[in-house]
Structure 1
Amino acid sequence: MADRTHQGDGEGIKTFPFPAELAVGGVGMRIGTMGTETWTVDVPLHRFHRIDFHVVMLFTEGPVRHVIDFTEYEAAAGDLLWIRPGQVHRFSPTSEYRGTVLSMQPGFLPRATVEATGLYRYDLPPLLHPSPPQLAALRAALDQLCREYEDTATLPLSLHTAVLRHTLTAFLLRLAHLAASSAEASREQADTTFTLFRDAVEQGFATNHSVSAYADALGYSRRTLVRAVRAATGETPKGFIDKRVVLEAKRLLAHTDTPIGRVGAAVGFPDAANFSKFFHLHTGVTPAAFRAELR
């Protein structure tokens, strides 16, 4: 990551753009070894920050504790973490990061490939646990990608870039299959009721917090919706909605200097006191205290 940074709004969490100037040949991707200074140049490793590009880390040692969108994940050797553009994350001050790291600029791959590989499936878990055969195949694909990335002598830049795109696509197709076949993702995809509810919440959480309203709009009984959401997530529909509202509020509090009352209004609480009460109930801290902890 480069030393080139900008603020999201005011003094909010810094966003780090893709470091194109550090990429070999200036292409829209990088791949290399974690644990060296060049892969995290001037990034505040132990503070929350955002990236506007994809990062995939394949660990050879563990455990590694890494926070993504305010949730801590623990990765073991052989696990992968997939961080997507716009997500807030923070490195652990106590973990040793060892393995291979791949970063990719949005727009490096064509739209058809982006859709086929699920690059913007934010609903999929960032922590992935491949089986031994899957891990072997992913490592082989990464090794091949690394060789192609470093080989700038045998092809002109245009062909070199084309080969990189194809090789990267092969790796991402394997990665996307792993993500989509995880237990959580499989349950979500298999249950049409939950999938429709999840999509409706994503569209309407800023204004609609009512389980009954979602059930009516989707044409399900409240009982059917409760059963489907609990089977997919272990949560109630109300808990699922509240969790999404809290995440959005955290993002706004972390990314921007928007007044707390306006943050509340943006997630469906016109009354600032009710928003503070809701946020404190679900996080244990007030919105002001949460924001202060990040500064």
Structure 2
Amino acid sequence: METEARPGTTIPLYALYGQIDAAAELRFLHLESLYARNQLYGWNIRPHRHHDLHQMIWVADGHGTVVLDDRTLALHSPVLLSIPPTMVHGFQWVPGAEGLVLTLAESFVADILKLSEDPAIETSLGHLLAITGALHARSLTRLHDLFASTVDEYVHERVGRITAIAGNVTLLFAELARLRHFSVQPEDDPQARSIRAVCRDFRRLVESHFREHWSVARYASVLAMAERSLRRACVQELGLSPQQVIHRRLFIEARRDLLYTDKTVAEVGYGLGFEDPAYFTRFFVRHEKDTPQVFRRQRTA
């Protein structure tokens, strides 16, 4: 768990917002009203991220704004947000907004995915979903009922409580996948499942080692496969080469550090494994077309 060395030097990485240590009693799931957390912070949740937590935010009444990495969106109820781990997010709600914040341990999500074996759900959870102000009446009713049922199970210690909650969460995941309009691939296609598994394992390795600038050959070796097989899988499933996946992850983190910390450009580069600040600047320009200094100035002015 990261903690702040000095104000602004790192993007806060929380178990739950406002709890920098891991003292939050979160074995698999945490559920609270929008009011419970936001009123403590004046309805202003500053940009932060979670290392291994997935969050779903449901706002039935109210409005506000959300920061998602380098984007800011206006939100008007009904609002449904599904935010994957490590994505920077912050909120400014109008006081009195009514809703729920569902925080899920990544291990719990993984257990559900293992049981469901549904590629549409796995794909949808790996991406941001932000719906505001427009939901089909049937979807609105289903979401309202599923969140209400989850709250009921969460606050009552009844027999089968965990099973009931897991069932509701699984149905919420299915609704997310439907809202993203993903088509479920045939379950009897072992080759497709194998490719998805390779890409999932590769991206998890990248998440752990992108700052170390591992070569594609090293990733392939850890995955016990040939480089060409890893490339084939990534291009087919992700539309990117393995090197592009690695560089994209580095670039996302560079943007986050430039936007949400007061590190110098050189410090950002060093923190991402670049020994030469000039090389980091060239890397950033290849992806952004602007230097890190210009990028920061234009977006933080």
Please tell me the TM-score bracket, short chain as reference: 0.5 to 0.7
Aligned to 1:241, the other structure's residue is in SS state helix
Output the TM-score relative to the length of structure 1. Answer: 0.61
Shift of 1:227: 3.8
Quote the Cα distance in structure 1 between the aligned partners of 2:201 and 2:152. Answer: 42
Match of 1:11 in 2: 7
Quote the Cα distance in structure 2 between the aligned partners of 1:189 and 1:71. Answer: 34
Quote the Cα distance in structure 2 between the aligned partners of 1:20 and 1:294. Answer: 24
Shift of 1:278: 1.1
Shift of 1:27: 8.7
- Paired AA for residue 270 in structure 2: A
Match of 1:156 in 2: none
- Paired AA for residue 173 in structure 1: T
Aligned to 1:81, the other structure's residue is in SS state strand
- Paired AA for residue 170 in structure 2: L
Aligned to 2:81, the other structure's residue is in SS state strand
Quote the Cα distance in structure 1 between the aligned partners of 2:209 and 2:130. Answer: 29
Shift of 1:43: 5.5
Query: Compared with structure 1, are the counterparts of its residues 232 and 61 closer, same or farther at alpha carbon in structure 2 (3 Å cutoff)?
Result: farther
Aligned to 2:213, the other structure's residue is in SS state coil
Match of 1:169 in 2: 166
Query: Compared with structure 1, are the counterparts of its residues 72 and 206 closer, same or farther at alpha carbon in structure 2 (3 Å cutoff)?
Result: same
Shift of 1:282: 1.6
CA contact (8 A) 2:146 2:168 kept: yes
Asked if 1:231 is matched to 2:228, the reply is no
Quote the Cα distance in structure 1 between the aligned partners of 2:213 and 2:13. Answer: 30
Equivalent positions of 1:75-94 (< 5 A) are 80-83=80-83, 87-91=87-91
Match of 2:116 in 1: none
Shift of 1:184: 9.1
**Offset from partner CA, 1:132-167 (integer Å, 9 cap, x none):** 87764443221123445678xxxxxxx37x887555
Quote the Cα distance in structure 2 between the aligned partners of 1:279 and 1:131. Answer: 41
Equivalent positions of 1:47-196 (< 5 A) are 48-50=47-49, 55-58=55-58, 66-70=66-70, 80-83=80-83, 87-91=87-91, 100-104=99-103, 113=108, 115-117=110-112, 124-127=126-129, 136-147=141-152, 159=157, 167-177=164-174, 183=182, 191-196=196-201
Shift of 1:215: 4.9
Equivalent positions of 1:189-204 (< 5 A) are 191-204=196-209
Provide the aligned C-alpha RMSD in A. 5.1
Q: Percent identity?
A: 23
Shift of 1:277: 1.8
CA contact (8 A) 2:83 2:129 kept: no
Query: Compared with structure 1, are the counterparts of its residues 78 and 229 closer, same or farther at alpha carbon in structure 2 (3 Å cutoff)?
Result: farther
Output the TM-score relative to the length of structure 2. Answer: 0.60
**Offset from partner CA, 1:14-64 (integer Å, 9 cap, x none):** 56774799xxxx9974444x6x79745435749634468654223558999
- Bigger shift: 232-241 or 73-82? 73-82
- Paired AA for residue 242 in structure 1: H
Asked if 1:283 is matched to 2:279, the reply is no
Query: Compared with structure 1, are the counterparts of its residues 132 and 233 closer, same or farther at alpha carbon in structure 2 (3 Å cutoff)?
Result: farther
CA contact (8 A) 2:154 2:165 kept: no
Gaps spanning 5+ residues in structure 2: where?
114-121, 186-191
Gaps spanning 5+ residues in structure 1: where?
1-5, 152-158
- Paired AA for residue 220 in structure 1: A
